[in-house]
Amino acid sequence: MSKKKISRRKFLVRGGLGTIGVLAVGTYLFRNPIRRVIAEAIDSGESPYMGDTSSPVIWFEVTSENNIVLHSPKVEMGQGTFTSLAQMAADELEVSMEQMKVIHANSASGNMDGFATGGSTSVASLWVPLRELAATMREMIKNKAAEKIGVSIEQLSIADGVISEGENSISYAEVVADVSEWNIPDTPVLKDIKEYKFVGRPIPRVDLKDKVFGAPIFGMDATLPDMLHGAVVRSSAIGATYIDADISKAETMPGVVKVIKEPDFVGVIANSLIEAENAKNTIVVDWKVDRKWQTSDIEAMIAVGQGEPYVIQKEGDAEDILSEGENIITSDYKSPIGAHAQLEPNGALAHVEDDTATIFMSTQVVKLTRDEIAERLGLDEENVNIVPTFLGGGFGRRLHTPNAVQAAVLSKAVGKPVKCFFTRKEEFQNDTFRPPTHHVLKAKLSEDGMIEAIEHNVSSGDVAHGSAMLPSILEPILGSDIGAWRGGMIQYGAIPNFRTISWRVKLPFATSWWRSLGLLANTFAIESFMDELAIKAKKSPVEFRLAQIQDDNRGFRLKEVIKAAVEKSGYTDEVVNGRAMGFAVSTDANTPCAQVVEVSIENKEIKVHKVTCAMDPGIAVNPDQVRAQCEGAIIMGMSAAMFEKMDVEDGQLTPTIYGPYQMALMKNAPKQIDVVLLQNDDKPGAVGEPPLGPIGAAVANAVFRLTGERLREMPLQLKSSKV
């Protein structure tokens, strides 16, 4: 169907896409209120889809075998989106799962996401539009079938993509075969969710076999005839600016086709990857480096009180109550620089010919990458085709992929396809890191042991600011960083007085989106502090929290996940058989998630035996994959909270390899993870990031119960060992 014409395509256009830009610009004068409104909007998890939903024709194809190909504008990086989208489409299209094939939509197909794959929004944002597109396509085909058979639509029934009336039957493939013009009907009423056969069921991943049998599906696996290999010199030093390079030796190295010097980089093109790398290593670059940064410099910058404060949440008068007087409790917490460390390095295969460019790559930002290449090469955007591949991990690392521009420049220089990837050392030193944070929590308890006032101050490097995804016009309005805010709000609405203040720090190296953004560190700080307050108030940490949650829908959902996690885990404050439990809960993008961990100390190290996770993402389109996301996020969160840390030594980020960059491995993974899914919302919400929230605080809280040692800094390491 992809090349057919549409006679009318005006319905299905969804009005009023509330982008942050539209929301913010024009209310510039009311800075503080609008900042809080935006903060609330981000916190609410509403995420409209920003792409073309005007016609099913650019979304679906029908093959001659009567299969349906869905061209997904969202990329698959492990989060299971392809499978959920296939389930949603199959139910409205009335085809089987076996008939559904999902591929990445290339940018030239017209089905391009205007923004990105990220923020746990893929399934949530496409929940309505994709089902409407599938239902519309079903009706389009059904209308044509009625014409062909010569009966009224009401007489037709559909099963597995075959339309029947009495003894007559015709497949979707047969219906569409000779149709060149489609009438698009009014958007049909969607089916009742109870009628769905696939949505809500644990369907195996649609990409399972490709991934188990080693199919060449990733960016690094892409090849083209006559392909050459590129290598670009990248600096090891923070803040290095390229000045010039001596390429005389490189030009004589075996296998080298060409060495090119551009105004901003130098690169090699050779016959093989090894030859390109060997030649690259002989290039002597003149870098301009202003300063040799050290970890201590960075730590001094990331401190509450430095720079400008921005109030992003305010209720009552926490400022006055906490500014003076006795019995004010204060603690501070820290998190380090984190690396993405995704297994597939960044890179691209580019083929630039005359006035067109084709790029195969793993990216979370198809449109942005296309536009950057078009600008650099002076091509029309329509003539740059980004062909997204499966991603060997995303986690936010591919929310800006300017390396594709370099691959395209190299390809143009030799007139052949060129594949160019980062080395692992280059990945570690040129990452867009999770920024380090510093948090100061202050509170005052009332006489009955409840929180009278609480304040969270967070200092963080940028997440969204400075990234290519946030219009710079918004910086003065937002002040501090919307990504750093994530998870930073006080979620206990029954507390009479609370405030959150964000302090923005501009670091000398790139910091950006890392799965869950600020959630991991913010929840670590706030939920550790809640535990400290509960202990001070001599209350159970669970009851202490429940009593301070407001009575609205959001509060109800939060309380329900807490109760479910406690019930499933049998949470107790007591130490039993050398093991203690820890509890924490977060709300991220409107998905509440509570976790209970069980830890012991073995060989002076924290050992996590079991994690119980109760989460309410609303409708779980694929409950098995929601569970998989919880399991993975819990261990990834443990890895970040307990092991990972980048340092700055003599102007370089270090370490530069797995191992020295410590991560959770098989031996560190809990042997039991119980996931309880609640569904107190009537639509799918965020899944991929929310379960990263509670884990750090839950582990720290358990360690305190076991050892009496309060760990306030990630990675969590015991200073003394009492068990």
Partner 1 sequence: MKISFTINGKSQSVEIADENTPLLWVVRDILDLKGTKFGCGKAACGACTLHVDGEAVRSCSYAIKFVEGKEITTIEGLGNEENPHPVQRAWIEEVVPQCGYCQPGFMMATAALIDKIPNPTDEDIDKNIINVCRCATYYRMRKAIHRAAALNTEASSSTETQIS
Binding site for partner 1 (CB under 8 A): 77-80, 204-205, 207-218, 220-221, 223, 254, 272-274, 340-345, 390-395, 421, 423-424, 624-625, 628-629, 631-636, 639, 657-659, 663-667, 669-671, 673
Quote the DSSP letter at residue 564: H
Cα–Cα distance between 423 and 420 in angstroms, integer? 10
* Rounded least distance, CB 382 to partner 1, Å: 30
Closest contact distance (angstroms) between CB of 342 and partner 1 is 5
> Which candidate, 546, 549, 598, places its Cα nearest to that of 570?
598
User: Least distance in Å: CB of 234 to partner 1?
Assistant: 15
For partner 1, give the closer residue by CB, 127 or 218.
Answer: 218
**Whole-angstrom distance, CA of residue 161 vs CA of residue 88:** 15
Residue with smaller CB distance to partner 1, 29 or 212: 212
Q: How far is the CB of 650 from partner 1 (least distance, A)?
A: 21
Nearest approach in angstroms of CB 283 to partner 1 is 19
Residue 636 CB, nearest distance to partner 1 (Å)?
A: 4
Q: What is the smallest separation between the CB atom of 492 and partner 1, expressed in angstroms?
A: 30
Q: Which is nearer to partner 1, 391 or 530 (CB)?
A: 391
The upper half-sphere exposure of residue 371, i.e. CA atoms within 13 Å in the direction of its Cβ, equals 11
Cα angle for residues 149, 153, 154 (degrees, 5° grid) = 125
Q: Which is nearer to partner 1, 399 or 549 (CB)?
A: 399
Nearer to partner 1, 414 or 535 (CB): 414
Backbone angles phi, psi at 627, to 5 degrees: -60, -45
Closer residue to partner 1 (CB): 211 or 604: 211
Q: Omega into 129 within 30° of 0, i.e. cis?
A: no
Best CA proximity match to 227, nearest among 279, 174, 189, 270: 270
Interatomic CA distance for residues 132 and 488, integer angstroms: 35
Distances (CA, A) of 66 to 61, 89, 99, 148: 10, 15, 7, 17
Q: Return the residue matching tokens 């039957």.
A: 169
197 versus 609: smaller Cβ distance to partner 1: 609
304: Cβ contacts below 8 Å, ≥ 6 apart: 332, 438, 439, 440, 457, 458, 459, 503
Nearer to partner 1, 313 or 652 (CB): 652
The SS3 call for residue 373 is helix
* Comparison of 423 and 572: residue with beta carbon closer to partner 1: 423
Please state the closest distance from residue 713 (CB atom) to partner 1, in A.
22
- Phi, psi for 459 (deg, rounded to 5): -105, 130
Cβ of 186: how many Cβ atoms within 10 Å?
9
Tokens found for residue 663: 């991560």
Q: Across 63-221, where does the E strand assignment appear?
A: 68-72, 100-104, 157-159, 162-165, 168-171, 181-182
Query: Residue 327 is inside which H or E element, if any?
Result: none
Considering the complex, what minimum distance in angstroms separates the CB of residue 432 from partner 1? 15
